[in-house]
Amino acid sequence: MEIFTDLNEIAAPFSRAHVTIGNFDGVHLGHQMLFDLVVTRARQNKGTSIAVTFDPHPLKVLSPQGIRLISTTPQKIELIGRAGIDVLVIIPFTREMAMTTANEFVDKVLLGRLGMRDLVVGYDYAMGKGRRGDTAFLRQQGEEKGFSVMVMPAHYEQDKLVSSSRIRELVAAGKMGDVRRLLGRWYQIRGDVQWGRQRGGRQLGFPTANLYLSEEDLCPKRGVYVTQVIYDGRQYGGVSNIGYNPTFGDTSLVAETHIFDFNADIYGRPLKINLLRHLRGEIAFDGIDALSRQIRRDIEVARKVLAKEQQRRLIAYHRNSEA
């Protein structure tokens, strides 16, 4: 997949450009259907499949409260690449960009820069200043300017609307099974392993890999999770505590993960953690012994959950696995 992060990098319009555009936060099942359709239509017409998105998310710029994102930009790029898209255009979003009218965006960007012949958007998509470029506007533009427009209807899974906002609510509630059904994969946190307070292995007997989290980002419900850990192309089972570790009175938000059947120095190395099930909330224990006993119980339950999910083929443990 070819990636452009500046419209000026595009030297000439693409051949038979088939385009979809959106924020694509989470790259959920609805987004994946958009990509599948664009890729199929482009191949049928010997054209170029193109996804257009923005960085940062427009609401990060326009809303005082911002937005808590499901996926980071690197995750989004990775997931869109898996969909088979030929070209990804990431447009820097600024307040100046927000003043661009829908007409200007169609003429200067979609037609002028990309050479768009075909456009696929979701049922609720709108572009341009004041979001005035809705699907009715786009259809009208297509008739006037000679490009086709297809609008994808809302997608439902088990009678639940697949949407980024709904997924954010489910993540915050710790409902990871429901999140997986709407994403089409497990919800994942990732980062480089950081030095912690060295309590896990030395005091508790359960060494942990620590990823520090920002409260400005989307944070899963605090507590203990059954997890699938991806490190260096291999998958491992694990149990993670996301929170502030109230037993020790910590103040940093951290995901502490005990990785099963694992013994390696991974400080500073990248780690991906899939959250499978929320087991319990955070508890302030009377001391280290009580906490250690509870961790043993958590590990026992987690191993059973992992075995069950492996039987259902929802997780696997083998080399060179996709995360």
Identified catalytic residue from 157, 256, 309, 322: 256
pLDDT at 319: 39
pLDDT, tens digit (0-9, with 9 covering 90-100), for 26-42: 999 999 999 999 999 99
Give the Cα separation of 48 and 6 in Å (integer): 18
What pTM was computed for the model? 0.90
Place of tokens 């192309």: 233
Q: Residues in the chain with pLDDT < 50?
A: 200-201, 318-322
Give the Cα separation of 149 and 172 in Å (integer): 35
Q: Output DSSP code: residue 200.
A: I
Return the number of other C-beta atoms located less than 10 Å from residue 145's C-beta.
12
Q: How many residues does the chain have?
A: 323
Q: What are phi and psi of 23, to 5 degrees?
A: -80, -30
CA distances from 217 to 67, 246, 251, 279, 317 (A): 8, 21, 17, 22, 29
Give the Cα separation of 303 and 309 in Å (integer): 10
215 is catalytic: no
Give the Cα separation of 41 and 29 in Å (integer): 18
Does residue 274 contact residue 235 with C-beta atoms inside 8 Å? no
pLDDT, tens digit (0-9, with 9 covering 90-100), for 237-258: 999 999 987 555 565 789 999 9
pLDDT at 267: 93
pLDDT at 204: 62
